[in-house]
Structure 1
Amino acid sequence: MLYHISVPDPQSRFLDIIYTIPEINSEQIEIQLPAWRPGRYELQNFAKNIQFIEAISAAGHKLPLHKVTKDRWRVGTAGQNEVRIHYTYYASIQNAGSSYVDEELWYLNFVNFCMYTEGRITEAYHVELDLPDGYQIACGLPSAGKNALSARDFYQLVDSPMLASATLQQCEYAVRGIWFKIWMHGNLKPNWRRIERDFRRFSREQIAMMEEFPEKDYHFLNLILPNAFYHGVEHQNSTMIVLGPDDEGEGLYSDLLGISSHELFHTWNIIRIRPAELLPYDFTKENYFRTCFVAEGCTTYYGDLFLRRAGVFNDETYVKELQVYMKRHFESSAHAAQSLAESSFDLWLDGYEKGIPNRKVSVYHKGALVALILDLYLRKKTNHAQSLDDVMRLLWTRFGKPFIGYTLEDYIGIAEEVAGESLEWYWEECIFSATPLEDRLNEVLAFVGLQMSVFSNGNVQLNVLDDFKAQVQREKWLETVQVLTIEEEELEGEEEE
């Protein structure tokens, strides 16, 4: 399968695409454009951006092409063993799940506009790009020659976004033999020494906790805009991040750290530790699942926790970040009628919209808070011998590494196995009902010397208590997992100078 992509007029924002389908042995085929994209569980209607489409033979003759659903077409092959689908796609949006082209940048999310042939989704897919001279490609896919990329199947292709420009900036670093590349496009002058140091630290901390990394390399793709923006999407061995404004202030850098740590942990949690309902992805319709509070909630919790454990954040900064998602939960959905499991299922309905008052909860914010409750409960019960770390590692070794998909019942079983007891109270209060979280949160926060106050307007104040015993427990909770090699210790010393 081959895609040829060109941009004849960058100002028009249109991609010109030829999708070549070889080795056809049937009288008709059906081609499908994804109805949604991994990382955002709602129907996307990408087909609305297709301006023109036709099917032609290898000799250039038009073939019958009929639309059978909003994003699926049937092609009469007329005995041809090769068919080319020629179409144009409007690429004009800059967020972490879109596509955009202009005179100096190609930003492509292949899931937006690449189709697959029914019954052949697991075949290899190749991409040829008519890039301007001097452009450099940033992408998790392997190179297949100059301006060409290859994917082992359609799933890998559409989970590998791409930046290409003559003005890309980059740095790279290695952790435990894994190569990481950080790519930047935008009007800024990155402090690469600082970025490389902090990224290496939280990457190392994550790998130390999970004990291995699922990929041999990883790419942080960053598009920095002049306007305020914050959006990231996880992929197989990369993440696409869009941030702004490009004032190079501490706010932008803090956002970069937080979202990058979050997205990197997704390499385990959802990319490989995947709900069974999403394995494999069905790109034709909704893929309902009730465990997005694990996929996004645990990842949100760990994103900032890894920054503190790695020494990128100090205690004060970490406590402020905890307070942020406490505030977001209690301000917007403290009195919501839905449970976390129900809101996970309903992501496909209105999960990314504000919605009506007091209906749903955020799988990110409430999900992070219930992950915090479970982690600190396990630590208190076992004097830190067991924690949410153990739950995530067991999910990885039993379901993520063999890539077989886990169920809600599997998650419940592993958490109770680590706890050594039934956690019925936790599932009933935190996951399957709309029970308020204040009491349970303060119960576990007291163990580590923190106290949360929620005011009538939803504002939250998180205070650090003056309690030596609790301070010791807090240090154990936040202590690093990693053990540095001699070479890493020397490198750290050089960077601190």
Structure 2
Amino acid sequence: MHYRLYSENPESRYIEVECRIKTGETETLEVQLPAWRPGRYELQNFAKNIQRFGVFDSAGNPLLFKKITKDRWRIQTQGETDIVIRYNYYSAVLNAGSSYVSEEFWYVNPVNLCLYTDKNLHEPCILELVIPANFVVACGLKQISEPTQVGGKTLLAKDYYELVDSPLLASPTIQSRSYKIDTTTFYVWMQGNIKPDWHRILMDFEKFTAAQVSTMGDFPESEYHFLNLILSTPFYHGVEHRHSTMIVLGPDDEGEGLYTDLLGVSSHELFHAWNIIRIRPQELLPYDFTKENYFTTCFVAEGVTTYYGDLFLRRSGVFDDVAYYRELQVYMKRHFENNRDAQQSLVESSWDLWLDGYEKGIPKRKVSVYHKGALAALILDITIRKKHQHKKSLDDVMRLMWQRFGIPFVGYSFEDYQSVVEEVAEESLDWYWKDCILSNIPLENHLNHALSWVGLQMVTFSDGTVHLQELENERAILQRNKWLNSDV
């Protein structure tokens, strides 16, 4: 598969796409555009952004085709071994999963606009960008050619799955720095009206990255890219990818709030390099881009990751206790003040992400796999620590998940996760699965029971609001310090 992207008028927001395919001399060929993207479990129907669509033989003659679903086309190849599909894609949205083109910069998520055929999913893909010669490309894909005098760069993906898991930024003003942890080089890219404090950024990023790598044992990739797009308006969004993360933040006032957001989302997305990119539910192996891929364990994929994102900032010394408590209180407030009496369990809300997981929804129906999932992870972590006096923890669970399911990349089931947790805990945790994961029983009692062991308590006021407070107890303070400063 060879894709060529260009824009005759970037301010129109249209990207022109030429997709060259070797047909294998079949009489008909079906091509598909993804209906959703990894990292956001809802149908987004990217085909709605295509304005023009045509198919041609190697001589430029049109070929007959028919649209057979909302995002699938059947082409009459007439025996042609090479065909070209030409279409344009409207790229006018700026979030961490979209595409956008302008005179100043390009931002492309290939999953939005790159067609595929079922038989070509595992074959190498070439992505050719026709861009100005002074544009620098930030992307996790390998660059196989240098820009020519008229511009352009060519990137290579091992297969379609890698291609659509590799967003890119390109501009003449993008800024970058890098650092190295063990054998992996990490790149931090910044696009926007901002003057980064690189000394502070690199110091803090090195700390939380080293803490994560130390806990998990090794890093999945030889390179990793933090792709940051900083807007002038308020924004907060990040998406995980195989060897990168796409992050969109704002406003670009360079205030402390923006920097805290950068740290929080970056640490969260980095932990996804293990948890969901490689430690992946078996229902998502492989991705089926044509329809919903239902699974019940998003509370592991997102809840555990949310818990660890901020915990690693505290463990590494990037956050102090006050900063960590502030983030922990955010999960509590968002869950208990908004969804305390929700009817769904975490597994039900994981499944229903595909229905309305990213919308407010009707009252008292669903819970957030991020917020309640993070609180459930906290309860589990402290439960294991308490029994084993910090000699075992949720860290051991995630390392075993990495070794058994992530490294061999075989996919895990809900039962697999249960089995690993109870192997580490060395006991049955029926109460945990029943009360915290499989039912809609409120978490207050289990949460405060766990928090009390580390000298914390969630207080619920008469108006339903919650607040996290410290308890003055020397024994509990000692346990809290071991929890927040634990190191492999």
What is the TM-score of this pair, normalised by structure 1? 0.96
Q: How far 1:454 sits from its partner (Å)?
A: 1.8
* Distance in 2 (alpha carbons) for counterparts of 1:208 and 1:470: 26
Q: How far 1:385 sits from its partner (Å)?
A: 1.1
Query: Cα deviation per residue 1:115-144 (whole Å; 9 max; x = unaligned)?
Result: 101222111110111101200000011111
Which residue of structure 2 aligns with residue 338 of structure 1? 344
Aligned match of 1:473 in 460, 464, 479? 479
Partner of 2:483: helix, strand, or coil? Answer: helix
Query: Cα deviation per residue 1:25-61 (whole Å; 9 max; x = unaligned)?
Result: 2101000000100000000010000000000000000
Query: Cα deviation per residue 1:87-120 (whole Å; 9 max; x = unaligned)?
Result: 0000000000000011111000000000101222
* Distance in 2 (alpha carbons) for counterparts of 1:463 and 1:345: 34
Is residue 126 from structure 1 mapped to residue 132 from structure 2 by the alignment? no
Which residue of structure 2 aligns with residue 295 of structure 1? 301
Partner of 1:325: helix, strand, or coil? Answer: helix
Give identity over the alignment, percent.
61
Aligned match of 1:399 in 394, 402, 405? 405
2:6 and 2:130 in contact (8 A); partners too: yes
1:205 and 1:480 in contact (8 A); partners too: no
Partner of 1:411: helix, strand, or coil? Answer: helix
Query: Cα deviation per residue 1:57-78 (whole Å; 9 max; x = unaligned)?
Result: 0000000111000000000100
1:125 and 1:157 in contact (8 A); partners too: yes
Partner of 2:232: helix, strand, or coil? Answer: coil
- 5 Å-filtered alignment, 1:132-211, equals 132-146=132-146, 147-211=153-217
1:310 and 1:480 in contact (8 A); partners too: no
Q: How far 1:23 sits from its partner (Å)?
A: 4.6
| Paired letter, 2:373 | G
Which residue of structure 2 aligns with residue 421 of structure 1? 427
| Paired letter, 2:165 | D
| Paired letter, 1:196 | L
| Paired letter, 1:74 | R
Aligned match of 1:223 in 208, 229, 238? 229
Query: Cα deviation per residue 1:393-415 (whole Å; 9 max; x = unaligned)?
Result: 00000000000000000000000
Is residue 28 from structure 1 mapped to residue 34 from structure 2 by the alignment? no
* Distance in 2 (alpha carbons) for counterparts of 1:456 and 1:50: 52
| Paired letter, 1:377 | T
| Paired letter, 1:443 | H
Partner of 1:189: helix, strand, or coil? Answer: coil
Q: 4+ residue stretches of structure 1 with deviation over 4 A?
A: none
Which residue of structure 2 aligns with residue 491 of structure 1? none
Q: How far 1:459 sits from its partner (Å)?
A: 1.9
* Distance in 2 (alpha carbons) for counterparts of 1:456 and 1:35: 45
* Distance in 2 (alpha carbons) for counterparts of 1:76 and 1:193: 58
2:34 and 2:46 in contact (8 A); partners too: yes
Which residue of structure 2 aligns with residue 70 of structure 1? 70
Query: Cα deviation per residue 1:188-215 (whole Å; 9 max; x = unaligned)?
Result: 1000000000000000000000010000
Is residue 439 from structure 1 mapped to residue 445 from structure 2 by the alignment? yes
Which residue of structure 2 aligns with residue 371 of structure 1? 377
2:23 and 2:29 in contact (8 A); partners too: no
Partner of 2:111: helix, strand, or coil? Answer: helix
Structure 1: which 5+ runs fail to align? 483-497
Q: How far 1:456 sits from its partner (Å)?
A: 4.0
| Paired letter, 2:77 | T
Aligned match of 1:312 in 313, 318, 324? 318
2:23 and 2:83 in contact (8 A); partners too: no
- Supply the RMSD in Å over aligned alpha carbons: 0.7
Partner of 2:318: helix, strand, or coil? Answer: coil
Structure 2: which 5+ runs fail to align? 147-152
* Distance in 1 (alpha carbons) for counterparts of 2:297 and 2:288: 17
Query: Cα deviation per residue 1:462-490 (whole Å; 9 max; x = unaligned)?
Result: 111111111110111011426xxxxxxxx
* Distance in 1 (alpha carbons) for counterparts of 2:298 and 2:62: 45
* Distance in 2 (alpha carbons) for counterparts of 1:81 and 1:216: 37
Which residue of structure 2 aligns with residue 94 of structure 1? 94
Count matched residues.
482
1:327 and 1:458 in contact (8 A); partners too: no
What is the TM-score of this pair, normalised by structure 2? 0.98
Is residue 384 from structure 1 mapped to residue 390 from structure 2 by the alignment? yes
Which residue of structure 2 aligns with residue 489 of structure 1? none
* Distance in 2 (alpha carbons) for counterparts of 1:432 and 1:453: 25
